[in-house]
Amino acid sequence: MSILIDNFDLFANGLLGTIRLCLLAAVGSLLLGGLIAAFRVSPLPPLRALGTGYVTVFRNMPLTVVMFLSAFGLPPLGVNEASFLNVPGLNFLIPQLGNNAFFRFALIAIVLYTSAFVCEALRAGINAVPTGQAEAARSLGLTFTQNLRNVVLPQAWKFAVVPIGSVIIAMIKNSAIAGSFGVAGDLMYTSDVLVSQEGLPLLPVFLGLSGGYLLLTIPLGLFLDAVERRRAATIR
Amino acid sequence: MRFKRMTAIAAVAVVAFGTASCAKKDEPAAPTSKFAAGTTMDRIAKAGKFNVGTKWDQPLFGLKGLAKAPEGFDVEIVKIIAAELGIKDDKVHYEETVSKVREDFISSGRVDMIVATYTINDARKEKISFAGPYYEAGQDILVAKDDTTITGPEIFKTDATKKVCSVTGSTPAKKIAEYATAPGQVVLFDVYTKCLDALKNKQVAAVTTDNVILMGYVSKEPDKFKVLGKPFTKEPYGIGVKKDDKVFRDWINDIIEKAFADGRYKAAWDKTVGAIAPMPKEIKVNRY
Amino acid sequence: MPEPLIELNAVNKWFGSLHVLRDVNLTVDRGEVVVVIGPSGSGKSTLCRAINRLETINSGTIIFDGKPLPEEGKQLARLRSEVGMVFQSFNLFSHLTILENVTLGPIKVRRESKAVAKERAMKLLDRVGIGNQADKHPGQLSGGQQQRAAIARALAMQPKAMLFDEPTSALDPEMVGEVLDVMTSLAVEGMTMIVVTHEMGFARHAAKRVVFMADGELVEQAPPAEFFDNPRSERARDFLSKVLQH
């Protein structure tokens, strides 16, 4: 226990690192997942095929492989530093975004991987919206995008928010892999350093590590439970 | 009818087995030990089985292919010690001991000793004891074969655009951080092979760790990489044993000195690292 | 001189091997109220939904306001905005208030200002008798109120024609009247309407023409008095004997 207290600042820093990575990854995954879900329900067959192909590839590939392909496969393809993610302003809040190419590659990998699951959760939500809703919107003259944005997605969101939350919880835990791919400063990395560089015993450090992840995932889980209860109350 | 025949076969088998065991009577039933009772050597010799931790992913020192025992200089050292214990090579049980678990594997008794490019330092000495060093490595730098810009670790102080790669939580990672000036200049992965991938992609300019490890990678791809050959740290490699097992530690130290003197050490070196680097001229074990 | 607003020529549709529309020819003039009746599964709902392309057809042509129905895309969206549609199950947007349901189309499709859209929406809601329900969600309204809201939603687009797909079939009997009243007043005002229904009373007094469908075929069409008193086909006689007995 004293190990955790003595190294509290290190753990706190690690937690902050994980939060930063996960915050960006969650936002990215929701955006990309939403886009892919739109592809999958689109009236245009090529877009549908693209969406289906995307989900098939990234949902069935181990995250480690996606990480590897992102960190070492993208540069030979010309994405040398993935510096398009080095967004001014954002890199001030999240310094790794600016100074660590592998942070950016790991972010890309997590987003690519997670958005496939977000897409499917969202699509399940879209399918749960009665078809009459979309038909009514179409017969008013709403275009596909207007229909999705104003009628279908706001309702699909209610069905999808809890499954998507579970996807995000899984994503937070998955982010531990990033420590093995050049992302310095997250929880997993901090624990690694404490054990093998500082020589602290494995068990207490990993207890602290697990505690850090629980600190992120349990409140999220409670929040989702609350959302679900509120939804159950309003839908009747 | 069938039952009768089977009993007959069984009877013959019993007779044959009985004769065979009679013939072996003059051999010892269990391994005996020439060591003082209660010592670790005695325990291992009597058990007839030797549990050893090595690296499985480090060329030249401890590298394991599919379904084979690991190979390398560390493994040869293990064999020398095993022979002194009266343990045959096939009775040595190898465990993979990655850097993170080494102390725990010794403390818990999961392995009897660890020979795994294991740098002796004070923090580790608080939890385990070391025999040796049996070799003194040093941190060096590996670069692309055609790179002439990197001459030593000081370059990372003067040129912050040059990135250097190592492994999370390793001693070399801590050391090279002293030379780095820009955030993100030191790139850390969980294994060195990723560092090499990053170097091939020119995502980093150099990889740093102990020289012998780097040489292992050079030996695999000599036309891609080179090692600077200017170690800037001293990394004495020790043999990890249980803390305060002074008898075992001293006994291993004796063997190291003996093997160095009588040529067994040289044979082990030539068989493994010899093609890449010259053998140390001397070794000084540290008896404490 | 009546001019046609909706024209169907030799329209065929299959659901797999099921031939649901067989060579249907139908012309509806501006201001005309056509009531489509027939047994279940006769294809009358499909016919209604084909006119704004919620169902695609396999052959034949459908012409609306002088132009053939466009393919999926912006053109089709524009066409649909000119044809109001009322569904059996109301299909009000359940996450929006009644007022928002009525203003969504004008704001998003017609790009009207919120104030203009809201003003017309309130007038329409008052007209269908549920102006006081504007801020409620659909789930809080009775079936009859919901269907009247749905009619207001369609009217808010100021459509050239209105399609009603069994608008009273999902309603409790005591609410059928309030919806039919709204539809009757629309008919009186001269709205072009195609109404698929089982309400023979409405067909008799509000329709200018009754169209009888069976097995995907348009069997006969006539003014209501003529159709109900002297049906020409055997199938129509059979159908009427069943529905008018009670």
What is the overall mean pLDDT for chain C? 93
- The band of C1, judged by pLDDT with boundaries at 50, 70 and 90, is low
Beta-ladder partners of B58: B62
Q: A141 and C94: CB-CB below 8 Å?
A: no
Number of structural domains chain A divides into: 1
C/B Cβ contact: 3+ pairs below 8 Å: no
- Tokens read off for B23: 């013939």
CA–CA dist B76, B263 (Å, integer): 13
CA–CA dist A122, A35 (Å, integer): 10
H-helix or E-strand spanning residue C36: strand C33-37
Q: Which amino acid is at C102?
A: V
Checking if the pLDDT of C222 tops 70, the result is yes
Checking if the pLDDT of A39 tops 90, the result is yes
Q: C91 and A155: CB-CB below 8 Å?
A: no
> For the segment C65-91, what is each residue's pLDDT rounded down to a tens digit?
999 998 878 889 999 999 999 999 999
Residue B25: what pLDDT?
A: 44
Q: A192 and B169: CB-CB below 8 Å?
A: yes
Residue B12: what pLDDT?
A: 47
A→B interface, C-beta within 8 Å: 71-72, 75-76, 80, 95-96, 99-103, 179-182, 184, 189, 192-199, 201-202
Residue A79: what pLDDT?
A: 77
> For the segment C88-132, what is each residue's pLDDT rounded down to a tens digit?
999 999 999 999 999 999 999 999 999 999 999 999 999 999 999
Residue B27 near residue B20 (C-beta atoms within 8 A): no
Q: A142 and C108: CB-CB below 8 Å?
A: yes
CA–CA dist A161, B120 (Å, integer): 53
**What is the 3-class SS of C68-87, one letter each residue?**
ECCCCCHHHHHHHHCEEEEC
Just give the CATH number of B40-137+234-271: 3.40.190.10
Asked whether residue C153 falls in the same domain as residue C185, the answer is: no
Residue A172 near residue B100 (C-beta atoms within 8 A): no
For helices B246-262 and B40-47, angle between their N-to-C axes, nearest 10 degrees? 80
Among residues C102, C125, C159, which one ends one of the domains?
C159
Q: Is the CB of B57 inside 8 Å of chain A's CB atoms? A: no
Asked whether residue C174 falls in the same domain as residue C145, the answer is: no
Neighbouring C-alpha atoms within 13 Å toward the C-beta of C41: 4
Asked whether residue C55 falls in the same domain as residue C38, the answer is: yes
A and C: number of Cβ contacts within 8 A: 66
Across A169-178, A183-192, B37-46, C9-18, least confident range: A183-192
- Tokens read off for B69: 């025992």
Residues of A in contact with B160 (CB under 8 A): none
CA–CA dist B258, A89 (Å, integer): 64
What residues have CB less than 8 Å from B50, skipping those under 6 apart?
A: B44, B82, B85, B87, B91, B92, B93, B112
Residue A127: what pLDDT?
A: 92
CA–CA dist B168, A182 (Å, integer): 8
CA–CA dist A236, B14 (Å, integer): 80
CA–CA dist B216, B236 (Å, integer): 18
Checking if the pLDDT of A196 tops 80, the result is no
- Tokens read off for B197: 């991938």
H-helix or E-strand spanning residue B104: helix B102-107
Torsion over CA: A134, A138, A142, A144 (sign)? positive
Q: Please give the residue range of the domain that contains residue C118.
A: 94-159
Residue A205: what pLDDT?
A: 87
Q: Is residue C88 one of the residues assigned to a domain?
A: no
CA distance A174 to chain B (A): 16
Question: Do you know the residue count of chain B?
Answer: 288
B133 preceded by cis ω (within 30°)?
yes
Alpha helices in chain A, H assignment, sequence order: 2-6, 8-41, 45-59, 63-68, 90-93, 95-99, 101-128, 131-140, 144-146, 153-174, 187-192, 202-235
Residue ranges of A 111-140 with Cβ closer than 8 A to chain C: 130, 132-133, 135-140
Find the mean pLDDT for residues C5-11: 95
Asked whether residue C171 falls in the same domain as residue C61, the answer is: yes
Sole residue written with tokens 């109404």: C195
Checking if the pLDDT of A163 tops 60, the result is yes
Question: Do you know the residue count of chain C?
Answer: 246
H-helix or E-strand spanning residue B247: helix B246-262
Residue B195 near residue B165 (C-beta atoms within 8 A): yes
Q: Is the CB of A155 inside 8 Å of chain C's CB atoms? A: yes
Q: Is C21 helix (H, G, I), strand (E, B) or coil?
A: strand
Torsion of the alpha carbons at C63, C64, C65 and C67, rounded to the nearest 10: -50
* Facing C89 at nearest CB: one of A132, A137, A155: A132
Checking if the pLDDT of A235 tops 60, the result is no
Positions of chain B with pLDDT lower than 50, given as ranges: 1, 3, 8, 10-29
CA distances from C129 to C134, C145, C151, C162, C189 (A): 11, 8, 11, 19, 17
Torsion of the alpha carbons at B256, B257, B263 and B267, rounded to the nearest 10: 30
Across A109-113, B26-30, C237-241, least confident range: B26-30
Strands (E), chain B: 50-54, 57-58, 62-63, 92-96, 113-119, 128-137, 139-144, 164-167, 186-189, 206-210, 225-227, 235-242
Find the mean pLDDT for residues C25-50: 94
Q: Give me the CATH topology for the region B139-227.
A: D-Maltodextrin-Binding Protein; domain 2 (3.40.190)
Checking if the pLDDT of C49 tops 50, the result is yes
Diameter over CA atoms, chain C: 55
Sole residue written with tokens 């030191």: B186
CA C88 from centre of chain: 10
Find the mean pLDDT for residues A197-206: 82
A and B: number of Cβ contacts within 8 A: 81
CA A155 from centre of chain: 22
Nearest to C34 by CA among C206, C233, C154, C189: C206
What residues have CB less than 8 Å from A110, skipping those under 6 apart?
A: A21, A25, A28, A29, A63, A67, A171, A174, A175, A178
What pairing do the DSSP bridges indicate for beta strands C83-86 and C161-165?
Answer: parallel
Find the mean pLDDT for residues A35-52: 93
Number of structural domains chain C divides into: 2
CA–CA dist C116, B110 (Å, integer): 80
Nearest to C48 by CA among C171, C214, C162: C162
Find the mean pLDDT for residues A217-221: 91
CATH number at residue A137: 1.10.3720.10
For helices B73-84 and B264-271, angle between their N-to-C axes, nearest 10 degrees? 150
Q: Please give the residue range of the domain that contains residue A14.
A: 2-235
Residues of C in contact with A142 (CB under 8 A): 77, 104-105, 108-109
Find the mean pLDDT for residues A186-197: 83
What residues have CB less than 8 Å from B268, skipping those under 6 apart?
A: B73, B76, B77, B79, B80, B259
Asked whether residue C106 falls in the same domain as residue C202, the answer is: no
Torsion over CA: B115, B118, B119, B120 (sign)? negative
Residues of C in contact with A132 (CB under 8 A): 87, 89, 91
Sequence spans of domains, chain B: 40-137+234-271, 139-227
CA–CA dist B78, B240 (Å, integer): 12
Interface partners of C (3+ CB pairs, < 8 Å)? A
Residues of A in contact with C105 (CB under 8 A): 140-142
Q: A71 and B198: CB-CB below 8 Å?
A: yes
Render the burial of C21-45: b for 16+ CB within 10 Å, e for the rest: bbebebbbbebbbbbbbbbeebbbb
Do the domains B40-137+234-271 and B139-227 sit in the same CATH topology, yes or no? yes
CA–CA dist A35, A119 (Å, integer): 8
What pairing do the DSSP bridges indicate for beta strands C4-15 and C59-64?
Answer: antiparallel
**Burial class of B273 by CB neighbour count within 10 A (0 to 12, 13 to 18, 19+):** buried
Asked whether residue C101 falls in the same domain as residue C209, the answer is: no
What residues have CB less than 8 Å from B3, skipping those under 6 apart?
A: none
**Burial class of C179 by CB neighbour count within 10 A (0 to 12, 13 to 18, 19+):** buried
Residue C226: what pLDDT?
A: 94
CB atoms within 10 A of CB A72: 19
* DSSP class per residue in A17-68: HHHHHHHHHHHHHHHHHHHHHHHHH-S-HHHHHHHHHHHHHHHSS-HHHHHH
Q: Is residue C87 one of the residues assigned to a domain?
A: no
Residue C216: what pLDDT?
A: 93
Best probe of the A interface among B114, B124, B168, by most A CBs < 10 A, is B168
Q: Is residue C107 one of the residues assigned to a domain?
A: yes
Residue B57: what pLDDT?
A: 84
Residue C151 near residue C183 (C-beta atoms within 8 A): yes
Find the mean pLDDT for residues A155-172: 91
